[in-house]
Structure formats: structure tokens, C-alpha cells
Amino acid sequence: MFRLIFLFVVLGGGLYLGSQYSGQQGYVLISIANKTIEMSVTTLVIFVIATLAALFALEYLIKKVLYASSATWNYFSVRKMRRSRRSTNEGIIKLLEGDFQAAEKKVTKWSNHHDMPLLCYLVASEAAQGMGNNEKRDHYLELASQQENAQLAVELTRAKQQVREGQFNDAFNTLTNLKSDYPNNAVLLNLLKTVYIELKLWEPLRELLPKLVKAKIITQDEQQQLMLGAECGLMAEIAQQSGSEGLISHWNSLAKKLKGETQLIECFAKQLIARKADDNAFTVVKEALKKHPNAPLYYLFTEMNLTDSHPAITFLESVLKKDGNNANAHSALAQFHLRNHKWQEAQQHLEKALAVRSNVSDYAYLADALEKQNLTQAAHEVSKKALTLMTNQ
């Protein structure tokens, strides 16, 4: 537009001057080396205007040609990019359907024309792992890592694949390298939880739990269960490293609330029993049952190697005086009677326990007590009940 206005101004000026000085055209001489060019002023003005017009026209034509070439190039580029996106989307669907070979083929065929090749390579890596080709899997991850802003996506994908393959030590190293840069990433935290549990890293797991709750990866109830599991695992480690004395010292250092958890009491007692500290285990279980008589800890009495079983029998009898329908107490007391060859007393307690709830082990103990009393037919009937219960389970 500016050029057109400029031409009209020059042309208008030329016409004006031409009308003003008509008949007085003047004289122009241009000398170059041995050549001279003569013309009137009017001719020079017309020549200059024509030259400018020609230059502007040439510029216009060049721009049109370049624009057409660019438009054609962009058309084919956009067409290839759209085809790449469509192929990648189809590849993702194939990956979800489990057709890994087709998924790999579709996402890699047009990856060079995709506006985000990182996505293509990550999907291809997942497809390669699905086919069990770890060499290809790692190759695609390497290609993905060469893209811009790829670290988090690539390393999280790598960690997921390592977890699926059961390579928890490798996954631990991968996630640890990411943890400092992305401490609140939900996917990373969830993977860390799995790795810590599999590697029995109980202390790091305990420290991770508040973050998992904050990120809404687990609920408060799940946090409680994971915390108890971690504490049990930690007790097993301490018992293995420091024996019963170190275990008891650790137990005493726990918060009162934790020491009231039945699951932890059970873990603590089992570790004591495993390390021949049965008398300590008896005291712990007995005190816990005094506070919570319905807790499922009675079976632990029968696993203890007590030098004198009388205190345990006396305690169980006192429990049953207060609650005659305590099936677990009946079952535990019956097993002590079986050890002492008191078949009839064992039979009575087992029958009372089974009247409250069914239990395969109690049926087996009852069949044994009946067999010892030569009540073969009754023992056979009880064995059939036990077998039926096992089948239904």
C-alpha cells in the first residue's frame, strides 16, 4: 500500500511539474566513461517512475512465489504431522489392547514428523517391554531421553518398567536420582512406596507415609496399615541384628498408642518366640489380653515353649470364667489339655469353641481327641466336617 501511494505521489508530482514547465523540458546529460546519455528532464522523470514501478512489481512477484512455496511446504508438513498424530493415537490404543507389535509399528513409523516424538518413543518402549524385548525397550528410552524436557517422563517410565520386571534395586536407584528434583510427584511417590515395601526398607517407608497421604495416594486407614506393617518389619530387622534384648529395648521406646496395637503385639511376641524368649512373650501377650480379651492372640500361647504351662492354663481358665463364649480361649486351652493327654477336657473345650465359630484346625484337634478316646465313628464324622469346610474355603 505504501509503495502504491509513493508511486502516485511521484507520478502526481511529475504531472504537476510537467504542466508547470511545459515547453521548458530542460536538458539532462549523463556521462559514464566514454559513453554519454542525453534526455529531457521529463523523460528522466518518466524513466525513474517506470523503474520504480518495475522494481515494486518484481518484488511483489518474488513474494508471491516465495509465499506459494512456503504454503506448499507447510501443507505437506502439516499433513505429515496430522498423519503422525493419528498413527500415534492408534498406536496408543493398540498398546492398551495388548497388541504390542502393532503399537510399536504405528508409533515409530511417523515419529520423525510428530510434534512430540517423546510420546512416540515412550509408547514404543512400553510396547517393546510388552513383547519382552528389553534391548528395544532401552533403545527407545534412549531416543526419548534425547528430546527436550524428557527427564521426568523417561525416568518414571523406566522405573515403572523396572518395577514390572521385579528389578526393584534398579528401580530404587532410578527413583532416588529423581527424588531430589521432584519430591512431590505423585507417580514417583507411589513407585517409591512399592519399591520400599518390596526391598523391606521400613524406615524410609515410615518417612514416606505422610507425603503419600498428603498427595492423596493412600487413605488414613491405608497409612495406618502400612505403618503397622513397617513397624513389624522393623522389629524383625532389629531382632535379627540385636536379638531379643535389642528387640525389647526397641519395643519400650515405642509410643504407647503403638504398643496398644494388636498387630504389633503379635509381631513382637512372634519375634520373641523365634528367639527363645518365650517367657517374655507370655508376659506381653497375657498383659495385652487382660486389656483386650477378645483380641486374636490366644493361639500364641500354644506356640510358646513354656517350662511351666500352668500359668497359661490358669490365665485361660480365668478368661473363660468371665466369658464362656470366648472361642479362641477355649481352643488354646484345649490344645494345652491335648499336650497333657487330657482328651475329654480337650474335647469339651473344642466343642464349645466350634459351637461359636467354625475352624478347620479345631475340627482336626477334636477328631484327634475323639480318636484318642476310641470314638472312631465320631472322629470320622468330625474329619468329614473339617474336609467339607476346607473344600468350601
pLDDT tens-place string over residues 255-297: 888 999 999 999 999 999 999 999 999 999 999 999 988 888 9
373 has pLDDT over 80: yes
d(CA 243, CA 391) in angstroms, rounded, equals 41
* pLDDT for res 88: 79
Contact 346, 367 (CB under 8 A): no
Q: What is the dihedral of CA 161, 165, 170, 176, to 10 degrees?
A: 50
* pLDDT for res 117: 87
Contact 297, 285 (CB under 8 A): yes
* CATH T-level assignment (fold) for domain 308-393: 1.25.40
d(CA 122, CA 102) in angstroms, rounded, equals 15
Among the listed residues 254, 213, 256, the one whose alpha carbon sits nearest the alpha carbon of residue 231? 254
* pLDDT for res 194: 96
* pLDDT for res 65: 66
Average pLDDT over residues 378-391: 83
Q: Which helix (H) or strand (E) holds 28?
A: strand 28-32
Average pLDDT over residues 71-98: 72
* pLDDT for res 75: 47
Residue 170 to residues 201, 205, 230, 271, Cα–Cα distance (Å):
14, 17, 22, 31
Cell of 338: 491335648
Single-letter residue type at 338: L
pLDDT tens-place string over residues 338-354: 999 999 999 999 999 99
Lowest average pLDDT, out of 32-41, 52-61, 141-150, goes to 32-41
The whole-model pTM stands at 0.72
Percent share of the chain, pLDDT over 90: 59
**Which residues 6+ apart lie within 8 Å of 367 measured at CB?**
379, 380, 382, 383, 386
52 has pLDDT over 50: yes
- Between 248 and 307, where is the model more confident? 248
